[in-house]
Amino acid sequence: MEEEKQVFPLDSEKLYYSSDKLTLETDEGPVTYKMGVWISVDPVRIHKMIIKDKILQVDEIEVFNPLESKLRRADPDYYKRYMGLKLVIDYPGYGTGVVAKIPFENDPVGFYKWWRKQKHEDKVHLNRGYQIILFQKVAQMEPKIILKKDLELIR
């Protein structure tokens, strides 16, 4: 006699902890795991359900913090795009690691030189809005150093 599989549909009103079960549709059909397993098996999907779709609520300490850690290893590009200026970087003059937003705001020209001219675009993802803010500040403060392609974006 086959054991009946219990289904645990998403409840958008519920706060999920690592031991709570959730059934999600996959290529193999519906699959049920504890939330703690889901964040290892499919961290990007779970993260998007929380951040982008806002259909999944999770406990910050038990689920969200470990999820962010797993994202970094599972999909570094997605993680960098998500973190943006919150990412900790090695930046000249700051010893060991600084949140990218600090040099971005306090030293826009230096940050621009580091990010664009020293080819560190792969280290910090700046969305279009932040690029425009940075390019405008640099064009105002030191117009001679800004690249033509960046000037064209803000004209």
As averages over each run of 10 residues, the pLDDT of the chain (155 residues) reads: 74 96 94 96 96 96 94 92 92 89 96 90 92 96 93 88
Question: Is residue 6 domain-resident?
Answer: no
Residue 3: what pLDDT?
47
Domain that holds residue 52: 15-74
Does residue 149 sit in the same domain as residue 93?
Answer: yes
Residue 146: what pLDDT?
92
Q: What is the residue whose two structure tokens read 């080819």?
A: 119
- Domain end position, chosen among 28, 53, 74: 74
Does residue 104 sit in the same domain as residue 135?
Answer: yes
Residue 2: what pLDDT?
46
Q: How many domains does one find in the chain?
A: 2
How far is the C-alpha of 61 from the C-alpha of 89, rounded, in Å? Answer: 24
Does residue 92 sit in the same domain as residue 150?
Answer: yes
How far is the C-alpha of 118 from the C-alpha of 145, rounded, in Å? Answer: 13
Give the predicted TM-score (pTM) of the model: 0.78
Question: Is residue 2 domain-resident?
Answer: no
Question: Is residue 103 domain-resident?
Answer: yes
Query: Do the Cβ atoms of 57 and 12 come closer than 8 Å?
Result: yes
Geometric angle at alpha carbon 71, from 65 and 75, rounded to 5°: 170
